[in-house]
Amino acid sequence: MAQQKNFLAHTTGILLHPTALPGSAVCGSFGAPSRKWLQKLSKNNIGVWQVLPLTPPDSKGSPYSSPSGFAINPWFLDAKDLVEEEFLPSSIFEALPGGLQEDSPKKLDFKLAESRSDYLRKALREAWSSQKVDRKLAFEEWCAANYWIENHSAFMVIRNQHNNLPWWEWPDSLRQCKQNYLKDWKKENTEDLLEHYLLQWHLDRQWKSVRKLAFELNVVILGDLPFYVSKDSVDVWSNRTLFSIENNGEMEIQSGVPPDYFSETGQLWGTPVYKWQHHKKNNYDWWRRRFSRQWEQFDLLRLDHFRALVSYWAIPGKELTAQKGEWRKSPGSELLQKLKNDHSGKLPLIAEDLGVITKDVEDLRDAFELPGMKILQFAFNGDPKNPYLPENIKGKNWVVYTGTHDNPTTIGWWEKLDIESKERVSKQLKQKIDSPVWQLLELGLGTEASLVIAPLQDLLHLDNKSRFNTPGTTEGNWCWRLSNFDQSIDETLRNYGERGASWGRSNRSIFDLFTDLGNR
C-alpha cells in the first residue's frame, strides 16, 4: 500500500462548536462570530479549529443524531450577512426572533434558535423573486450539483406537515418513499420545498466563506463524522435497503457496544446498523458521497467509532440492552481504499480509537497511516502501560486531547479525581499541581504528537457547569455558550499560543498542510 504523508502539522488546536460562539443573542453563526474566532486563532498561532458535526441536531440539541446527514444546521445562518448582501431587506430585523443584540446568553435556547431559522427560511423564499438572474443561476447550479438536497427538503417539509412525527408514522405512501407519489406531492409543495433549498444554499455559501478565511489565516478546520446515522433521518428514509430496518420502523439489528467495566449492560445506541452486503453491491456509493460531502466542508475529519470499520456490535432490534449482541465483520479496508482513491490518494482522517481497541483495529488504522487519539484525562489509573500516559505516546501520528466534548472539563475532572490519581499526576510533572489545566496541557505539548487540542472550556478553567455533553443523559447538553470575546479570551489564547510556541508548535507549519490535504 502506498504511504501517505502525515497530514498533521506540529501545532495546537481548540475544540469549540460554532453554536457556542458569542456575538448573537441566539446561536453562534457563520458570520462575524466565526470570522472573529478565526482571526483570534490565527493571531495567536493556533493552527486548528475543531468543530462537532455541522448537521441539524435532534430535539435534544445533539448533532450526532441528525435528521439529515448531508445538510447543515439552519441555526448557523447569519442574518446580518444576508441583509448586507441584499438577499434580505433590513426590515426583517424588526420581527427577527432573538433580535440583533450581540451579548450571548450562557445557554443556547433550542426553541428560540429554531424559531429564528424558521423565520429566516420563510423570509428568504419571500425575497427570492426579486433576486438578480446571476444569483438564481448560481442557486440552480448548486442544486444540480447537490443531489441530496431534493430528498432532504422533502423529508423536512413532510416532517413539519406531520407535527414532527418519525417517518414510520407517516401515511403509507410517504412512509414508503414512493417516488411516483412524491413526484405529485412535490408539485403541490413547491413553495415549502424552495424554502429548504434556499436555506441550505445560503448555509453552504456562508460556510465556504468561513473556510476561505480560515485558509487565508492558516487555520485548519477539523470536522467530525458520526459512524451511524439516526433512525429517524432522511438518510434512512430514502435509502431503506442500506440499513437494517423494516418499513414500519422496527430495527432488525441495532447498534451499540457490549458490556464492559463501565456498564454491565453495555450501551444501546438505537440506530440501525449497515447492511454491508448492499453497500458493497453498489460500490459503496452512499458512503463515498457522504465522505465527499464532508471533505467539501472540512480540511480534516475525525471519524467517530472507527473500530466499527473492522467489526461492529450487532444487537437484535427488539433487545432493550446491549448484552445479547455479537461481533460482525465490516469491510473497512475495502471502503477506506475506495475513499482514498476518490480523494486523489489522500485520506485526511483521524481515527477515533478510544476505549478497548483490539489489534485488528490498530492494524487497520496503521495500514492507512491514520492518526489516532490520546486523552490525557484517561492516563492516570496507575498502570505504567496505560496507552494515554505521555511517555507511552510514541511517534508523531497522534492527536492528544486534555478531554473531548464527551468528557468533564479538566477542572471538573480534577475536582472529582481521587487523591491517589492526583498524586500520580503530580509525580508525573515532578511538581505540585496548582494549575491543573495548564500543567496537564504541558504534558501533552511535550509529547511527540503532531497535534494537541483542548476544549475552550478547559483553557478558560471552567468547571462542569460548562461541560458540553454528558453521555447517557438527555438534558442540559449541547447548550453551553461563550458570553463574549472579552479580554480574558484574548489573554487565554495568547497564553495557549505562547505555550505551544515554546514547544515548537505554531500555525506556521500549516502552510504545507493545506497542499497535502487536497481539500482546496
What is the C-alpha to C-alpha distance for residues 257 and 321, in angstroms, rounded to an integer?
Answer: 10
Q: Which of 406, 423, 442, 516 is flagged as catalytic?
A: 406
What is the C-alpha to C-alpha distance for residues 106 and 479, in angstroms, rounded to an integer?
Answer: 8
Confirm whether 352 is a catalytic residue.
Answer: yes
Closest by CA to 287, choosing from 330, 344, 317, 232, is: 330
Stated as kind and residue range, the H or E segment containing 221 is strand 220-225
Q: Which of 252, 304, 463, 516 is flagged as catalytic?
A: 304
Which set of grid coordinates corresponds to residue 278? 448492499
Which set of grid coordinates corresponds to residue 146? 447537490
Q: Bridge-partner residues for 267, per DSSP? A: 257
Count of other CB atoms within 10 angstroms of residue 446: 15
| Residue/partner pairs of 42-45 with CB below 8 Å, 24 or more apart | 42/217, 42/218, 42/219, 42/507, 43/493, 44/493, 44/494, 44/496, 44/497, 44/498, 45/11, 45/12, 45/497, 45/500, 45/501, 45/505, 45/506, 45/507, 45/508
Q: Bridge-partner residues for 455, per DSSP? A: 15
What is the C-alpha to C-alpha distance for residues 50 and 46, in angstroms, rounded to an integer?
Answer: 11
What is the C-alpha to C-alpha distance for residues 307 and 289, in angstroms, rounded to an integer?
Answer: 21
With a CB cutoff of 8 Å and minimum separation 6, the contacts of 75 are 19, 26, 27, 29, 113, 114, 116, 117
Amino acid at 107: K
- Walk across the sheet containing 451-455 and list its strands: 349-351, 300-303, 220-225, 48-50, 11-15, 451-455, 398-401, 372-375
Contact 127, 80 (CB under 8 A): no
Alpha carbons within 13 A on the beta-carbon side of 404: 17
Q: Which of 78, 232, 352, 458 is flagged as catalytic?
A: 352
Alpha carbons within 13 A on the beta-carbon side of 156: 29
Confirm whether 304 is a catalytic residue.
Answer: yes
Count of other CB atoms within 10 angstroms of residue 277: 8
Contact 448, 394 (CB under 8 A): yes
List, by residue number, the catalytic residues: 304, 352, 406
